Each structure stands twice: as C-alpha cells, then as structure tokens.
Amino acid sequence: MNDIALKDVSVLRGTVLALTEISGIFSSGSLTAILGPNGAGKTTLLDTLAGRLQPATGVIAGLPSPPNTSYLQQVPQLDLRVPVTVLDFVAMGAWRMHGAFRDIERQALESALDALRTVGLLDLQLRTLDELSSGQLQRARFAQLIQQQSQLILLDEPFNAIDEETTAMLTSLIARWHADSRTIIVVLHDRELARALCPHALVLDRQVISWGPTEQSLAAHRWRHVA
C-alpha cells in the first residue's frame, strides 16, 4: 500500500467548513491516533478517507480502492431488530471474497469461526446480535474486520462504552494489524491510550494542530479539552 498524502484538504459537512487545509502524510503501515476537541473534524476526516465525503478543495493521493478499506464507524449502522446470528454477521464481512448476494460459503463460515475464536465469541456464535452486550457487539464488529483483510483500517472511537477486558483484547488486535504493516487510523479521546498504542498522532481542531510522533504531537499542544 502507498502512503496517503493530503494536500490543502478542506471539507464541508453540509454548509459548515469542518476541516481547513489539512496537509500531511499517513505513511504506509503506520498506526496513527487522531485526537481533538468535540467538533474538531475527527469523524469528518475518517469519512473523507473512506470516500463518504469529498474534499471541497485540495487533493488526497494514495488511497486504496474501496474494497481494501475497512471503516468501523462510531455508531454501528445496524438494525438489531433483524435476527442475524453472530456467526452470520461476522461471515458477511467476507462478502468481498464471494459476492454480497450469494449464500455465505463454507470457507467464509470457517474463517468467521476463526475470527470469533480470536475475539473470544466462539461460544456465542448462534446468538443474535440483540442478545450481545456492548462489549460483545464491538468484539463481533472487530471479528468482521478480521474477515475483510483490508490494508487501510479506519476506527472511530472504537473503545467507547466497553469494558476493560474488551479494550485490552481489541488494542492487542490493532497492534497485530500494525505488525502486519497495515495502515491504521484511529480516533481516540484518551491521551494515555494514544501514547500506549499509537506511534504517531494527529491533533485536530478543524485544522492541523500537530502531526508526527505521538509524544511530540501531544507535547506540542496545550490541551483545553479532548474528546
């Protein structure tokens, strides 16, 4: 995968200028935390990298094709009233391998079982999503990411409202993806977690406040409030 380079990228969300002249590089295989106050444009940046929003001005070079990008949004776009089992939900993450409208193939089911084993949900494979706790649901969503095998992984506040054990498990999984040279960009609000997990950090407040090695980026900014 190539470096992702942003040059003078400004983005509108509706009629509001959410990001102003963002320039910088997410190096191939890097793990970067994005931090900043509420309304700083963190989610807007992820939406733009995922192709959900287009820059009003500026250019982004080096983005992989959509099948090679996985985006875990902060609020799951799931209808929990639909009786989907945990196993089927995770297996659907492999639709890129077998097509979105075909029956889930045996290979996808087998790899889904492996993914569930990785996140500690194998015993819950036949439960429906609405039976899961918030932490268990987040584990299932990460298991689906395992299935997608993307080179670019975008995570929007993946540790909100989940237990410490699940947080530890998912941070370990992110570290493994980083060791596999995937490019990972994760929105966080916990500076200590950013220090522990991410070698690089981008501090946003609708524009770049600091961007570089995590300690340097965090030290370069006098914090008012980070969320």
User: What pTM did the predictor assign?
Assistant: 0.92
Distance CA(211)–CA(36), nearest Å, equals: 12
Where are the domains positioned within the chain? 1-64+189-227
Helices (H), 56-122: 86-91, 95-98, 106-118
Q: 């370069």: which residue's tokens?
A: 220
pLDDT in tens, the chain (227 residues): 899 999 999 999 999 999 999 999 999 999 999 999 999 999 999 999 999 999 999 999 999 988 899 999 987 667 777 789 999 999 988 765 555 445 556 777 889 999 999 999 999 999 999 999 999 999 999 999 999 999 999 999 999 989 999 999 999 999 999 999 999 999 998 999 999 999 999 999 999 999 999 999 998 766 544 44
CATH number for the domain whose boundaries are 1-64+189-227: 3.40.50.300
Using a 10 angstrom Cβ sphere, with 0-12 exposed, 13-18 middle and 19 or more buried, the burial of residue 22 is buried
Distance CA(160)–CA(183), nearest Å, equals: 22
For residue 141, what pLDDT is reported? 95
Using a 10 angstrom Cβ sphere, with 0-12 exposed, 13-18 middle and 19 or more buried, the burial of residue 100 is exposed
Complete DSSP assignment for 6-28: EEEEEEEETTEEEEEEEEEEE-T
Distance CA(176)–CA(46), nearest Å, equals: 21
